[in-house]
Structure 1
């Protein structure tokens, strides 16, 4: 921090221009982050249901982001109104990507940096983010801290809480670093005024890609002529948001496996030692998630290629370019929100497929949204099991618990109800706009996809509030909200007689 302040006041002779106010803002942000992280460790002195604490943390971050985005330095022309700042902050924290103003042309570097922080903290979860830095700066967790963060992270073993927290942060920063390097070298240096902004551009899109937020600093978006045919850039960004959709647990499992295999190869070929091969255990959940995602990626890519081969993909000159664009778009439609082809140019069958992919979304425990691929898979497997006359779902030599099946159908039903309510309210507040576009906007907001048919900026203030509420519910989860505020913690020592209903 002192180094940044020094070069701010005494100058810097190099290609990167530090002699701007924004670098002082960065230093202040670093100090603020350390203090916020330390104070987050004292939340255990107050009694909070961990689920309620999770919800409140997102609300607090949205309020903070709104205040920052309303500052005059955020915008180039005029400061954002409260509603617009509130909308943009919610979209960034909930990693949605819907915009009422173009951050590439209307935001200053300070405003873009604020959006970057909101995306990063919102993607990881403010409790995870501040918990890590609080542990780092304070040197440890109390017993109550470990219990609280164990509930937030979903970790049952108390001695694994710190390890899980460090693992999530490490994997996130490592993948974003690799992604930023790949994106940096895929960019044309002539498109940027100096090296510093090119570096910031790569970092911003690495964070935005991994967190599946859909925000971009490209003036015309990726669909513009400058990036539309930059296939290395598209592939690097695709790898980032696909990794983001897998979930931290799956990525950690692959990381552990790759680390062990690398160590075995080094010991065998370099150190000339005898290697004892041990079986690597992939948990049932991780295996199930990987299978679901592979099926989704293949089906979505092939479907998009077939449906748009003679339509929007006709602009790609060679077959490799068509496959790359189809791969990028098919996987981005699920929850990332980036588009090399504007969704308004897609054919109606592809648009229906896009809505379906948005609704299905990503994996549990990931930075993506939607009802999750495992939820849809369990619901479909349950239908197949019922058709075959089985009382339970059996896959990979395991039986799915009835509680998981009930939760899957509850999530599906609640998602449909939430989208329907959002669509109804938007028709009340903005009935003058196209009905199809309003439905698409409702689904995009709930699934935190961020894609739009171009009506977001045209919405009334009431319509923006409706979308803000939907984005928050989609990020936190309707079932999570119900559990937080309705859950009955009292224990009952009796069971009612069972009855069978007809369907």
Structure 2
């Protein structure tokens, strides 16, 4: 009897414990959901408040109210984050735990020093009071929660190609809104002009309808260069990077997207690749900015902003300049050190991240070999060069050399007349490099002869290399198309490069890209002819090639185009940056598989 009662008591205890644990789980789930909701709304509130603070002029009377508003936003973001971390605690990597601890301590400190209680340490109090620390740490907390945004996007089952297209479209729309802020421009600009500028920046083109130097304030220029950086690397690259940093893992869909964007095959160590890409990008841009800074004349205003702006613009192959006349201004036109620095940045940004990573590996191998030699250890053997790297480097070098020589021959007695041989060579080299995708110019290109104009159209059409910040059909596409043509003429059925056979799928992709690019440029050109009947057709064709190749050179005076023509150029820039094949497959891709195959039929072609 006693035993039976004990069993009943134990059963009742376990039942109550189960009910309590179930209640605790429900409460924790409710707290997590409620905290997530608070976090989302407080984040949106913070973003709106931040945009108002940086983009609009405020009266002195309301500045204290804005500070209080930022305090409310920070407290809501901070405590909702803390509750989320407590009720959904999971095992994390040590550096993530340390980061969470740092954020918690800093958050408590900021709340304390921004309260009415007098701070204990005045020096620390001064550092942690005011709007700036509230903005910085609110932003850090929001960025640390980006992985949840990525999970929401993944749950929508959007194809990676379409996600790539939509991410660029979203950044363009946001950028156009930011450029409409009163603090971003010196005089009123239309939304179409803001949209055009945003598209040109995100698509790293450089075509402008308003003078970047005079139309935009310092804030406007910072927005433009930020859009260039995001457009060059891709918003999902940054999102994926921060998501991985703050969670220590990544979904398969994230890896697939980034694999396609970075043109890499290995998805296992993808985030190591992203880290190297970001590191190489920022280090190159910083070194480039330093070189530009120390070679500038004292006539340039705000040398630091100028150096950073042009270094990022050059590496991302954007072609934007803070000078009204671009690099053809008197301060830069004869500064050949800066021209060489910018040309080098353009080449590095245009050869593609896969090639940059191969160069990084080779440099690392050389340094390691030298160290091992001094240590009297056996020298390591470097692996064979990737075929893609060989094609990119060979085709890039060939295009630069041929472009420089032909530019010199076509222009030596026209736009280059009056220069020394050295000056002609540097200008020809810079023009050849810039025309392929960057769009900087050091001379008045309206003085170009027609052979130069049409040859530059060809260079703009070819563009940069795959996995780069540039546009065009890409050097590998042109090289494989050319090799396939010669191979077919010589009677070979298969295309062989570097002891490898190129797959028929790659050759078909090359053919499709070439056909689509020509068709889109032709349609854009026809649209411009209809919209601008009074302009020189050659100049409009040049404008079409420039927009599609995301180059930024203009003979048709882009700012003088009407609204319809500007919209056509916007579409050409967007399609050129995304890639016509990527855009169409993202929109029209079908998931249905075909389990049949028709008989092969040869057709009469010629």
Gaps of 5+ in 1: 10-21
| Corresponding pairs, count | 477
Going from structure 1 to structure 2, the CA distance change for 1:341 and 1:104 (only over 3 Å counts) comes to same
Report 1 or 2 for greater relative contact order, CA contacts < 8 Å, sequence distance ≥ 6.
1
Q: 1:396 Cα shift?
A: 1.6
Any conservation in 1 of the 2:306–2:322 contact (CA below 8 Å)?
yes
Q: Distance in 2 between matches of 1:23 and 1:467?
A: 39
Q: In the TM superposition, what are the counterparts of 1:287-298 in structure 2 within 5 Å?
A: 287-298=390-401
The aligned counterpart of 1:380 is: 482
Q: In the alignment, which of 435, 438, 444 is matched to residue 333 of structure 1? A: 435
Secondary structure at 1:312 match in 2: coil
1:273 — aligned with what? 376
Deviation of the 1:321 alpha carbon: 2.2
Which residue in 2 is equivalent to 1:88?
197
Shift of 1:57: 0.2
Which residue of structure 1 lines up, in the alignment, with residue 461 of structure 2? 359
1:414 corresponds to which of 502, 510, 516: 516
Q: 1:491 to 1:143 in 2, by over 3 A?
A: closer
Q: 1:40 touches 1:130 (CA, 8 Å); kept in 2?
A: no
Q: What does residue 230 of structure 1 align with? A: 335
- 1:316 shift after superposition: 2.5
- Cα shift at 1:177: 1.6
2:367 aligns with 262
What residue number does 1:183 align with? 292
> Measured at CA, do residues 37 and 342 of structure 1 come closer, stay the same or move farther in structure 2, by a change above 3 Å?
farther
For 1:282, which of 367, 385, 400 is the aligned residue? 385
Partner of residue 49, structure 1: 159
Match of 2:319 in 1: 214
Q: Which residue of 1 aligns with 2:563?
A: 461
Which deviates the most, 340-349 or 236-245? 340-349
What is the rounded CA distance, in whole Å, between the counterparts of 1:147 and 1:411 in structure 2? 22
Q: Cα 1:171–1:362, aligned 2, differ >3 Å: closer, same or farther?
A: same
CA contact (8 A) 2:259 2:270 kept: yes
Distance, in Å, in 1 between the alignment partners of 2:550 and 2:159 is 25
Aligned CA distance change for structure 1 residues 295 and 265 (closer, same or farther; 3 Å): same
Deviation at 1:39, TM superposition (A): 5.1
Contact 1:50 1:152 in 2 (8 A): no
Superposition deviation, residue 274 in structure 1: 2.5
In structure 2, the partner of 1:74 is: 184
Instruction: Give the secondary structure class of the aligned counterpart of 1:159.
Output: coil
2:70 equivalent in structure 1? none
Go from structure 1 to structure 2 and tell me whether the alpha carbon gap of 1:353 and 1:162 turns closer, same or farther (over 3 Å shift).
same
Gap change, CA 1:27 and 1:459, over 3 Å in 2:
farther
Sort the Cα spacing of 1:137 and 1:58 in 2 relative to 1 into closer, same or farther, 3 A. same
Displacement of 1:148 in angstroms is 4.6
Q: Tell me by how many angstroms 1:133 deviates.
A: 2.8
Distance 1:297 1:311, change over 3 A: same
Following the alignment from structure 1 to structure 2, what is the Cα–Cα distance between the partners of residues 497 and 143? 37
1:31, distance to aligned residue in structure 2 (A): 5.5
Residues 151 and 372 of structure 1, relative CA distance in 2, 3 Å threshold: closer
- Give the whole-Å Cα distance in 1 for the aligned partners of 2:412 and 2:148: 54
What secondary structure sits across from 1:335 in the alignment? Answer: coil
The 8 Å contact of residues 365 and 382 in structure 2, kept in 1 or not, is answered as: no
CA shift, 1:434, in A, is 2.2
Alpha carbons of structure 1 residues 381 and 155: separation in structure 2 relative to 1, 3 Å: closer
Q: Distance in 2 between matches of 1:105 and 1:231?
A: 25
The separation in 1 between residues aligned to 2:517 and 2:263, in whole angstroms, is 22
User: Contact between 1:307 and 1:350, CA under 8 Å: does it hold in 2?
Assistant: yes
Do structure 1's residue 62 and structure 2's residue 172 form an aligned pair?
Answer: yes
8 Å contact kept, 1:66–1:86: yes
Match of 1:16 in 2: none
Q: Structure 1, residues 267-310: CA drift from partner, whole Å, max 9, x if none?
A: 434xx433413133211111111111111111111111122122
Q: How big is the shift at 1:141?
A: 2.5
The answer to which of 179-188 and 120-129 deviates more is 179-188
Instruction: Tell me which residue corresponds to 2:86.
Output: none
**Shift in Å, 1:371:** 0.9
1:325-345 Cα distance to aligned partner (Å, 9 max, x none): 111111101111000112211
**Cα distance, 1:164 vs. partner?**
2.1
Q: 1:421 to 1:143 in 2, by over 3 A?
A: closer
State how far apart, in whole Å, the 1-side matches of 2:478 and 2:522 are. 19
The equivalent residue for 1:12 is none
Residue 404 of structure 2 corresponds to residue 301 of structure 1: yes
Q: CA RMSD in A?
A: 2.4
Q: Give the direction of change, closer, same or farther, for the CA distance of 1:302–1:62 in structure 2 (3 Å limit).
A: same
Q: Measure how far apart 1:315 and its partner are.
A: 3.5
Seen in structure 2, the aligned counterparts of structure 1 residues 484 and 389 have a Cα distance that, compared at 3 Å, is same
Q: TM-score, normalised by structure 2?
A: 0.75
Q: CA deviation at 1:145?
A: 3.8
Structure 1 window deviating more from structure 2 (484-493 vs 29-38): it is 29-38
CA apart distance, 1:151: 4.9
Say if 1:413 and 1:254 are closer, same or farther in 2 by CA, change over 3 A.
Answer: same
CA shift at 1:220, angstroms?
A: 2.2
Residue pair 1:41, 1:141 contacting (<8 A) in 2 also: no
Query: What secondary structure is seen at the aligned counterpart in 2 of 1:191?
Result: coil
Contact 1:33 1:130 in 2 (8 A): no
Residue 270 of structure 2 corresponds to 161
Between the aligned partners of 1:381 and 1:34, the Cα distance in structure 2 is 47
| SS state at 2:241 partner | helix
The 3-state SS of whatever aligns with 1:241 is: helix
Q: Taking structure 1 as reference, are residues 292 and 441 closer, same or farther at Cα in structure 2, changes over 3 Å only?
A: same
Secondary structure of the residue aligned to 1:313 is coil
1:240 corresponds in structure 2 to: 345
Shift of 1:158: 3.4
